[in-house]
Structure 1
Amino acid sequence: MIDLRSRLVAAVAASAVPSSDFDLNPEAPPAPPAAGLRRAAVLAAFRADGGNLLLTQRASGLRHHPGQIALPGGKVDPTDSGPIAAALREAREEIGLPEAQVEVLGGMPVHRTVTGFAVTPVIGLIHGPFTPVPEPGEVEEVFEVPLAHVADLTRYRVERRMWRGTWRSYDIVPFGPYYIWGATARMLHALAHALDGEARQ
């Protein structure tokens, strides 16, 4: 049986194809080059002692993406050394996760969003006990999803909704009462594919 760390490391190494919010909408204009987008990063942090992934529900009063499910993360600031540093900083700010408890396993290819960001998903393991502390006004809730759910490609579906006057398709991967969709689901879908490819070797 392959241990969690080895599975994730192999998946990161196997993930070579960038993803985007445009992938499921071939009739729309193509995704712009990542070099022309604002840089951002998110942290997909799994508990080393069980494999659960930490996700957040954004506060309902936020201007952008209120109430949506997201991985901890945000824009790469000028003071950040790069996407990994930004992902770790944002996780500390949003859910109180100390950088020292995170073993970074690597970054996956950039995901381009329809809102103009080039997002680097950073994969990591949380070592030791950790109780999330949601950032007031930013994070409504922190919850956990088992790796088995995230890695199961049959859990993912495609839905459509009207956005800015046109129909757009997007991934979803619901978990209990949580509607995980959009860029977050698309990035997790890419990770699931990489995990599935690693498992078939």
Structure 2
Amino acid sequence: MDAMPSAPPHDTPEAATGAGAPLPLDDFLVRARTRLLAEPDLSGDPPRGDHELTPEYRVLVDALPVRAAAVLIPVIARPRPSVLLTLRSANLNSHPGQIAFPGGRIDPEDTGPLDAALREAHEEVGLARDLVTPLGYLDPYLTRTGFRIVPVVGVVRPEFGLELNPDEVDEAFEVPLDFLMSPDNHLRESRESQGLLRTFHAMTYERRRIWGVTAGILRSLYERVYG
């Protein structure tokens, strides 16, 4: 596996474009601890999902078996906070080459979404569990492929190091939180999929295109914490 530095050199404040007003770390932590869900929603009907912008998907999803999953939203505790994202391996059968959070299915041996999200983050990018402090949960997100994802928000100590699993991840990088939480950077795009005109959230930071489920979960974080 290739060792990764904790922060790629091009992800600096000077390199950012379209950033909103600075978001101090302390302010984010206060908001997150008071506005995020204290416990994960494990059984309720997901209010968030691909069906929000494409309602026709809900009928298709309801016909699929529900698969429980969890992702970690790793907020790096820098003076200018950032979010750690991954570029999925181009060799994967599912969503190759797309930007995602560390995460995956909740296995039977996992104690819950938090345990699953931390396990997957360690397996995918080598992020040590003891460097992550959980802050809370977002509403579950239902994907068009039947995954019911519980997003776990955690703050990560900035001295972390990464070791990528090349079978799953081609790259890990950081995006400033103020960019991701600025509604001016939240776009809606459409394209035909499964015989439907699919509308989805999208954000572009430098040359990186964040869209679909990942952008939808980031929009959910914005509405929960800053909306």
TM-score normalised per structure 1: 0.90
Q: Is the 8 A contact 1:22 1:31 kept in 2?
A: no
Structure 1 103/59 Cα, relative in aligned 2: closer, same or farther at 3 Å? same
Q: Does 1:6 align with 2:36?
A: no
Could you tell me how far 1:166 is from its partner in structure 2?
2.2
Q: Is the 8 A contact 1:94 1:139 kept in 2?
A: yes
The aligned counterpart of 2:52 is 23
Structure 1 29/102 Cα, relative in aligned 2: closer, same or farther at 3 Å? closer
Q: How many aligned positions are there?
A: 195
SS at match of 1:103: strand
Task: Point out where structure 2 has 5 or more consecutive residues left out of the alignment.
Answer: 1-23
Q: Deviations over 1:119-148 (max 9, x none)?
A: 000000002401222211210100101110
The aligned counterpart of 2:187 is 157
Q: Deviations over 1:45-99 (max 9, x none)?
A: 1111231100000011110000000000000001100111000000001111111
TM-score normalised per structure 2: 0.80
Could you tell me how far 1:153 is from its partner in structure 2?
1.2
CA distance in 2, matches of 1:174, 1:68: 13
CA distance in 1, matches of 2:158, 2:212: 31
- State the one-letter code of the partner of 1:7: R
Could you tell me how far 1:13 is from its partner in structure 2?
4.4
Q: Which structure 2 residues correspond to residues 88-103 of structure 1 after superposition, within 5 A?
A: 88-103=118-133
SS at match of 2:208: coil
- State the one-letter code of the partner of 1:125: V
Identity %: 39
Could you tell me how far 1:30 is from its partner in structure 2?
4.2
Task: Point out where structure 1 has 5 or more consecutive residues left out of the alignment.
Answer: none
The aligned counterpart of 1:182 is 212
Structure 1 154/10 Cα, relative in aligned 2: closer, same or farther at 3 Å? farther
CA-based RMSD of the aligned residues comes to 2.1
CA distance in 1, matches of 2:141, 2:28: 24
- State the one-letter code of the partner of 1:41: A
Structure 1 40/29 Cα, relative in aligned 2: closer, same or farther at 3 Å? closer
Q: Does 1:64 align with 2:101?
A: no
4+ residue stretches of structure 1 with deviation over 6 A? none
CA distance in 2, matches of 1:99, 1:112: 26
SS at match of 1:144: strand
The aligned counterpart of 1:46 is 75
CA distance in 1, matches of 2:96, 2:168: 9
CA distance in 1, matches of 2:47, 2:77: 26
Q: Is the 8 A contact 1:57 1:67 kept in 2?
A: yes
CA distance in 1, matches of 2:193, 2:166: 29
Q: Is the 8 A contact 2:164 2:171 kept in 1?
A: yes
Q: Is the 8 A contact 2:134 2:152 kept in 1?
A: yes
- State the one-letter code of the partner of 1:99: R
